[in-house]
Amino acid sequence: MLYGIPFPGAFVTDEDGVVIAKSFHDTYKKRDSPEILIDAALGRIELSAEAPTAVGGDEEVRVTAAIHGGSGTIRQGIVRHLVVRFELRDGLHIYGEPVPEGMVATRVTLRGPSGLVVQDPILPPTEPLRLGSTGAELRVWSGSVDIAVPFYPTGELASEVRPLDADAVTLEVEIRYQACDDETCLLPRTEKLTFELPLDVIDVPRIPLHMGHGQREGDYDGKPGLRRLMLRKIRSHPLGFLRFIGKHLRLELAARARAARSRN
Amino acid sequence: MTIERDELGFDAPAPLGHPGRLGLPEGREVGPGVGQSLPDFALPDQHGRLLRFHEDRASARAVVVFFRSAVW
């Protein structure tokens, strides 16, 4: 048996109570966006009109990238999805891995600042396509194709228990693909899109350091544990502790200024 | 100050390697898998009424969430 803080997770069931999707994470600080659970129940990705969106491609292949979940904001540990939707003209297809040398497999790369964890893309199932000339079998997508890239910020980027370093972060998306029909291929394309995502402020400006979630209710006294932690930190990094105090004061002032601006 | 950070990028007040910080063991089963039926269970709702999962769902789809805190 396992005891302690439960691992966060969700079961999605159909009308008969049978599990159709399941998601468990290895730390209680990480969990799925509600929108992603709703997608799992519906069996399709429903992009909100509020989702930040960037468009690329052309008349042959339309490419739309959107940040799915949280109305475009990100917060610590909550898994959002970058959804890249390819809408291909009839007769065209794009390639999944693996491809022979000289061909281009579809690839979506998401980059962000330090503290942003990007997970492996979730790919829809491919269909087989046999090339008449060589007999090689390729894996392709056609029609409308959604590729989802899960990502989440850690406390380094968007802490729940200290003021934020910045109001927003920049995410860069690179999309590489080549569309072909049964006879010819279009030139490979690389789309580069950028998102500016606000970091979600929770209630940090109103609470002092180390009084975050789970410590504000009940009779738990966190002071002895905090005192031991601080002494250990000071002993091991005396100069770093002074820098930490200075940085915290600066962040606290910035958070108060931000709160004052939002009130005006 | 050097922040103690685990392999997932989370800052840690407890020292890395502390048993209290152990994650979900590799390959550990966490309940029924996809395609299996959830067991029947009963839990009180926000009004204190006891709800049975299979009986009171009115044949609707459902999401059963396990979480530690409600900041989403």
Q: A190 in a domain, yes or no?
A: yes
Distance between B47 CA and the closest CA of chain A, angstroms: 21
Q: A19 in a domain, yes or no?
A: no
Residues A166, A242 share a domain:
no
Q: A105 in a domain, yes or no?
A: yes
The closest of A209, A11, A195 to A110, measured between CA atoms, is A195
Residues A210, A259 share a domain:
yes
Say whether residue A6 is in contact with chain B using an 8 A CB cutoff.
yes
Residues A145, A123 share a domain:
yes
Interface touch A18/B24, C-beta < 8 Å = no
Residues A108, A58 share a domain:
yes
CA distance B53 to B62: 9
Q: A33 in a domain, yes or no?
A: no
- Does ipTM surpass 0.85 in this model? no
CA distance A81 to A34: 11
Q: A164 in a domain, yes or no?
A: yes
Residues A154, A107 share a domain:
yes
Q: Write the DSSP string, A52-116.
A: -EEEEE-SSEEEEEEEESGGG-B-TTEEEEEEEEEEEPTT-EEEPSP--TT----EEEEE-STTE
Contact A67, A19 (CB under 8 A): no
Give the closest of B28, B31, B68 to A11, CB-based.
Answer: B31
Say whether residue B55 is in contact with chain A using an 8 A CB cutoff.
no
**Per-residue pLDDT tens listing for chain A (264 residues):** 445 556 778 899 999 999 999 888 777 778 888 888 888 888 888 888 889 999 999 999 999 999 998 888 888 888 999 999 999 999 999 999 998 888 899 999 999 998 899 999 999 999 999 877 667 789 999 999 999 999 998 877 877 666 667 788 999 999 999 999 988 899 999 999 999 998 876 654 444 444 444 333 334 566 777 788 788 878 888 888 888 888 888 888 888 888 788 777
Residues A224, A139 share a domain:
no
Specify the pLDDT at position A218: 39
Residues A96, A62 share a domain:
yes
Distance between B46 CA and the closest CA of chain A, angstroms: 19
Interface touch B63/A117, C-beta < 8 Å = no
Q: Which domain, by its residues, includes A236?
A: 204-263
Interface touch B3/A8, C-beta < 8 Å = no
Say whether residue B65 is in contact with chain A using an 8 A CB cutoff.
yes
Say whether residue A230 is in contact with chain B using an 8 A CB cutoff.
no
